[in-house]
Amino acid sequence: MILTGNEIERERANGRITIEPFTPEQVNPNSYNFRLGKTLRVYQDMPLDARTMNAYEEIEIPDDGYVLEPNRLYLAHTIEVLGSEHYAPTFAARSSVARLGLFINLSASLGDIGYTGQWTLQLYSMNRVRVYPGINIGQMMWWRPQGEIVLYEGKYQGAVGPRSSDIHVDFDKQFARQRFPGLAASIEVSEVGPKFAELARANGDFRVPSAFCVPAGEFVDALSDGQRAELADAFADLKATVGAFFTDAVERIEKIGGQVRLPEDARTLLRARLNEVFKDPRTDVAVRSSGLDEDTEGSSLAGVHSSILGVRGADAVIAAVEQCWRSHYEAPAVAARVRAGDFDPTPRLAVIVQRMVHPRIAGVAFTGLDGAADQRVSIEYVEGLADELVAGVAVPRSTDSDRLGAEPAPDDDADGPALRQVVEMVRALRERHGHDVDVEWAVDADGPHLLQVRPLTATRGQRNSVPEPVAQTHQLYFDDLPPTFHLGDVAGVYGSYVAKRGPAHRMAHDCGVSVGAGWILQFNGRGLRDATTADALRAALAGGSAECVLDLGDTLRQIVVPKEEVLDRLAMTAGGDGSTLHAAVVRDFIRGDLGVISRRAGDGLIVEYTPEGLMALNRGTAGGETIVVTDLDRGFDAAGNVVAAPSGTALLTHLDEIARFTTAMHAKHGPVTIEWVFDGGRLYFVDYSVLGGDDAVVLARGEVCISPGTASGPLLRLDDDALLRRLSIGPAVSIDKSQDVSEHDGLARILDQVKAYDEKPIICAARPYAVLSVLIDHVAGFVFDQGSALGHLAILLREAGVPAVTAAGVTGTAAVISDGTVATTGHKGD
């Protein structure tokens, strides 16, 4: 509704409209005439640039006038200072001026409520027109607004004289808003993550500290093509080796992630966004990670990414954003994703920059904990900031809505009023979301602030979270676990160990055969940090070998670490919020003097060994020596009954122990291989494998045939021993569990080479690497320079009926294998 001239005069007199100087005669029926000031401003250089301050010159209009040239823009100004905090202004040329062909604004006739100053006019003439200072050139109108008034606080406030365009000031701000959305902006969860999306959803209805988000796409764009390629290779290797080289892989991944920097253009826009959202550069902010996979109903990934509190200043905020990014490629976050079967190298992490709350008390609150009724709210809190509570360092106070609602209120109810407000907020959030919630909050003089809301995860809902320090151990294979024990990610690994190795280890123990120690651990972050529980855990693991093997899940296994570093590695890989329970299998890793494999062969016994260790022998990365016993019913001292190299002398005195246990296991399971470690003159039983249609063949010369049979075909030599060795050591390839690793780039290239032949080739390789099992269906046979006849690949080859032989120095273009011998053709000079 437009104000009439009389209303304009009354509202000016009431101080609700500013017109200075004011002349009553310039009041129109529904406007006020304003006059042209003395100064003109014209741009000098073309083209004009919207991102920079453009050069200009100023012209003073003489008393005898100044001629405006056609098709040229002149910035002019009003003599009057005009404005209102109550009405919306618009202006236009007087009709008499318009009839000269003179425009006083081109496209910006609407002003802002709250602006007060001289107004800049955009003079543009169709004709050559002489203008004079002080002429009535235009008219201002005021309109009654509808809705809540927000006053103008922009860059032109209080202008004196003509102001050229300051759009360059808005340029960074405008694009910063687009790049770094705020709580009220339209957002995509896939870019900002559930954490920020939930805060944006709650904003307006709850007290949410002002914030904006650095979307995940900024992280993606910050990576160079080279860094993306390196990360892809590192995660592919991690997947193919199932974490056997986790420590090395993480060091490599962390190094790449540590090189990522916020690009310069993003730094400029981030500074502009900080200035707009928080205004005071001394404002403390919290810089929080917002993973795209965090805070869903199935998984929270809580605590695996960095959050930095009390950050002040643009440079510090930029550094904190980069620190959050780095955490995505550090051990806790990588381990959490790998345990979930996620090997995607693409960064999926947004970052929230939020005004810091300096609370009196702060904490977390849950609905539905332990299956509680909908209306019950459980609360854990501390004085001051809750970062140590969330991280699992501080032990919180606990209460719930039942106790807070008790009548009369307890004597120590100083926090009660604030906590009851928290209860109301949490219940409202649960009703709004339609499911149980996990809420982080802080209370200051203004009341409760909502810092984070997420679905109650399976971890919380199943009570796999304990606020007290937890670090307990049970003997692997020998102890029954209590019903409350939470196996989590390690359930599959533990189940396979107990089902298969448990009876064998107990049988070995009953037979007087030594076995390495093993444990199943349950712990939380507080338990690893608390001196009492941590010392008890170290004491339980003490003794035995100096190294151990960690199994943290199906996709993160066989990590060999010094035993003294176990707690640090568990803390590094577990992440979590300090209360969440985790489990791990820890087994003594006895490197030993020799790795040993034994099996029955007819009436006799075959024993293979190597000083390079059991894993090397099993996975084909080392060649082995062989002891062959022709007939166990004859004495080991009988002439010709035992064939052994001089290097096997130390084992000869243990043949009876090897034979007894191998025979006992053979009687129970059928054909088996038994795996041992020989250390300090003592044999340790490690594991066994049940064999299918595998019959070991002892050749006339006393050697064990890797795999009998006849085959012919073109000869393909594989020379990438480093790749084959590395992939073979990982648990992705084993005799009783085969994970498809053929998608690894290196193996894919080998498969392409094999499939390029018109007929199945014979593969020539340095050793019977276990990972070569992926080629079994595509080749005619194998020739190895050296290798084990009892390792994983040899067993699989015999079961598949694929011939294989050991023969060093084989060359040529084609080969024929026949029961332990090989002949080749196509040599140079043939």
What is the secondary structure of 394-422 as a DSSP string?
SPPEEEEHHHHT-SSPPTT-TTHHHHHHH
* Predicted confidence (pLDDT) per residue in 757-783, tens digit: 999 999 999 989 988 988 999 999 999
What predicted TM-score, i.e. pTM, was given to this entire model? 0.77
Contacts of 649 (CB under 8 A, 6+ apart): none
Query: And the tokens for 713?
Result: 């075909």
The predicted pLDDT at position 462 comes to: 47
Q: What is the pLDDT of residue 827?
A: 53
> Which phi and psi angles does 750 have, rounded to 5°?
-65, -45
Residue 209 has pLDDT above 90, yes or no: yes
- At the top level of CATH, the class of 594-690 is alpha beta
What span, in angstroms and rounded, lies between the C-alpha atoms of 586 and 566?
9
| DSSP-derived pairing of the beta strands 514-515 and 682-690 | parallel
The Cα angle at residue 471 between residues 470 and 472, in degrees rounded to 5: 115
How far is C-alpha 4 from the chain's CA centre?
Answer: 63
- What pLDDT sits at residue 20? 97
Q: What integer is the mean pLDDT of 303-307?
A: 83
User: pLDDT-based confidence at 799, cuts 50/70/90?
Assistant: confident
pLDDT above 70 covers what percent of the chain? 91
At 415-467, the pLDDT tens digits run: 889 999 999 999 999 998 888 888 999 999 999 999 999 887 644 444 477 77
Secondary structure E strands in 658-735: 672-679, 682-690, 697-698, 704-705, 710-717
pLDDT tens profile 596-626:
999 998 899 999 999 999 988 888 888 888 9
For the chain, percent of residues with pLDDT exceeding 90: 62
| Structure tokens, 525 | 């972050």
Distance between the two ends of the chain, CA-based, in angstroms? Answer: 104
Pick 40 or 458 by higher pLDDT.
Answer: 40
Contact indicator for 151, 95 with CB cutoff of 8 Å: no
Q: What's the whole-number mean pLDDT along residues 285-290? A: 94
3-state secondary structure of 380: strand
Cβ contacts of 152 within 8 Å, gap of 6 or more: 112, 113, 114, 115
Q: What is the pLDDT of residue 736?
A: 42
pLDDT of 57 strictly over 50: yes
Cα distances (Å, whole numbers) of residue 201 to 189, 197, 655: 11, 6, 72
| Residue 558 CA neighbour count, 13 Å, CB half | 17
Instruction: Give the pLDDT mean for 85-109.
Output: 95
Residue 459 pLDDT: 44
* Secondary structure class of 817 (helix, strand, coil): strand
Domain borders along the chain are 5-165, 189-355, 361-459, 471-589, 594-690, 705-825
pLDDT at 341: 84
Q: How far apart are CA 262 and CA 273, in angstroms?
A: 15
User: What homologous superfamily is domain 189-355 in, according to CATH?
Assistant: ATP-grasp fold, A domain (3.30.1490.20)
Tokens of 60: 């003073």
| Encoded tokens for 70 | 């056609």
Does residue 298 surpass a pLDDT of 70?
no
Q: Retrieve residue 414's tokens.
A: 């100083």
Please classify residue 258 by burial: count the beta carbons closer than 10 Å to its beta carbon, then call 0-12 exposed, 13-18 middle and 19+ buried: middle
Q: How far is 571 from 71, CA to CA, in rounded Å? A: 72
Which neighbouring-strand residues pair with 130? 67
* Mean pLDDT computed over every residue of the chain: 89
Please count the other Cβ atoms lying within 10 Å of the Cβ belonging to residue 12.
19
Q: Say how far apart CA 104 and CA 368 lie, in whole Å.
A: 65
Query: Phi then psi for 130, rounded to 5 degrees?
Result: -90, 130
**Strands in 296-436 per DSSP E:** 307-311, 349-355, 361-367, 377-383, 397-400
The DSSP code sequence of 428-439 is HHHHHHTS-EEE
Single out the residue of 467, 307, 511 nearest to residue 378, CA to CA: 467
Is the pLDDT at 567 greater than 50? The verdict is yes
Of the candidate ranges 96-110, 495-509, 558-572, 697-711, the one whose mean pLDDT is the lowest: 697-711
Give residue 829's pLDDT.
43
DSSP 69: P
State which CATH number among 1.10.3470, 2.60.120, 3.50.30, 3.40.50 fits the domain covering 705-825: 3.50.30
**Of the given ranges (169-183, 218-232, 283-297, 413-427), which has the lowest mean pLDDT?**
283-297
Two tokens, residue 588? 């003594």
* Domain 5-165 belongs in CATH node 2.70.40.10: yes
Task: Please report the pLDDT score of residue 36 as a whole number.
Answer: 98
Asked which of 223-232, 668-677, 723-732 is least confident by mean pLDDT, the reply is 723-732
| Weakest-pLDDT range from 58-62, 141-145, 390-394, 502-506 | 390-394
pLDDT for residue 830 is more than 80: no
Residue 403: both structure tokens together: 């106790």
361-459 domain in CATH 3.90.420.10?
no
Going by their DSSP bridges, the two strands 804-806 and 781-784 should be labelled as: parallel
What's the DSSP call for residue 285?
Answer: E
Closest CA to 560 of 569, 611, 679: 569
Q: Which of 708, 688, 689, 686 is nearest to 697 (CA)?
A: 708
Q: What is the pLDDT of residue 387?
A: 72
Q: What is the three-class DSSP state of 814? A: strand
| Ranges 5-19, 133-147, 793-807: which has the least confidence | 793-807
pLDDT of residue 526: 86
DSSP state of 733: B
Which pLDDT score is estimated for 742? 61
Determine if the peptide bond prior to 731 is cis (ω within 30°).
Answer: no
Place of tokens 């024990």: 485
**Bond from prior residue into 408 cis (ω within 30 degrees of 0):** yes
Distance, in Å, from the CA atom of 434 to the CA atom of 429, rounded to the nearest integer, reads 8
DSSP annotation of 14:
T
Angle at 371 between CA 365 and CA 372, to 5 degrees: 60
Confidence of residue 730 (pLDDT cuts 50, 70, 90): low
CB 815 within 8 A of CB 757: no
Same fold for the pair 189-355 and 705-825: no
Is the pLDDT reported for residue 486 higher than 60?
Answer: yes
Half-sphere exposure of 361 (CA within 13 A, CB side): 21
Specify whether the CB–CB gap between 215 and 207 falls below 8 A: no
